[in-house]
Amino acid sequence: MAKLKALLLTEGMHGMISQVEGMAKALKAEYYHKTVGLNFPWTLVPPKFTPISEFVIKDKSNLIANEVPDLIISCGRKSVIASILFKKKNPKIFTVHIQDPKVNSKNFDIIISPEHDNLKGNNVINSKGAIHYITQLEIYNMKDYLFDKIKSQKVVSLILGGPNKYYKFSKDQLVEIFDEIKSNFISKGYSVIVIPSMRTPQKIIDLATNEFKSNACVINTVNKQAYLSSLALATNIVVTCDSTSMISEAAASGKPIFVAHMKPKRNNYRFKQFFQLFKDMGVTRDLGEKVESWEYNKFNEAERIAAKINKKLKN
């Protein structure tokens, strides 16, 4: 049987790319990625009020492919209109959207929505946390990448996000997190690896370098190999609270995860639902709780959901 050909549609953000690629890999599909933009003023308009028309799409020629894909996997608000438009032109395309599209679910064959979003429907599959492209094998294979930079057998990896509409990432909040790591880990003989994300401003990386001085290996740029190696080498992992995707990715390691919480600048109800779910599953605890090792049932949501999608594709 020939491999499925998948078109991946996102806004280009790492968290979204990780989700669509993770799903495509789990489906064992050949895939190519396109970034979707919308023309003004449609960037400001909710999808349910946006016309399903080519004039809404920015640089629509960028989305034109030489062949029609078997399926489209989309993620993010801007990709919703493009996916529906493709389906409208060719109803044979099987469409999968990740996250709540904020439009009628009947516009897609399958919607994958995190459990903490409370979205239900006949074609909705709920995931525990975010779908992602990281596998345990990838993590294991990158273990040696940072090995020579580590001075202790005990390692805490700090995965940093960045400011978003929910979290400010003020200097005071970051210093509190860094102080917790100094008192809970460095004082107990741990080495620290600091990994930035695409949303981490340089000033935060510089602050981490200054705060930890010679006690940490601070990676200065976005580096997937270093990221995977940090997960492989870690005894414990600390992830900032701004990204459910990063926390979900860290859980692929099977290592104990501490969430570094910050005061939200707006209602973070969905985040709270996610935090509670992962606590109940035994995956995470809060930074500041007792440092110890624990185990939890490893899970791969992409593979579990791929099995359900494959059944529908066969039909």
Q: Which two tokens stand for residue 168?
A: 């400010």
Q: Which pLDDT value is given to residue 1?
A: 55
pLDDT in tens, 153-179: 999 999 999 999 999 999 999 999 999
pLDDT in tens, 106-157: 999 999 999 888 899 999 999 998 899 998 899 999 999 999 998 889 999 9
Residue ranges covered by each domain of the chain: 5-132+302-314, 136-286
Q: So what's the pLDDT on residue 116?
A: 85
Q: Do domains 5-132+302-314 and 136-286 have the same CATH topology?
A: yes
Write the pLDDT tens digit of every residue in 262-278.
Answer: 999 999 999 999 999 99
Residue 41: asked if its preceding bond is cis (omega within 30°), the reply is yes
- In this model, does residue 286 exceed pLDDT 90? yes
Please tell me the CATH code under which domain 136-286 is placed: 3.40.50.2000
pLDDT-derived band at 3 (thresholds 50, 70, 90) equals confident
Q: What is the pLDDT of residues 186-204, one digit of tens each?
A: 999 999 999 999 999 999 9
Pick from 97, 226, 83, 66: nearest CA to 149: 226
Residue 216's contacts (CB-CB under 8 Å, 6 or more residues apart) are 158, 191, 192, 193, 194, 208, 209
Strand partners, 158: 194, 238
Q: What are phi and psi of 67, to 5 degrees?
A: -135, 155
Cα angle 288, 290, 292; round to 5:
125
SS3 214: helix
CATH architecture of 5-132+302-314: 3-Layer(aba) Sandwich (3.40)
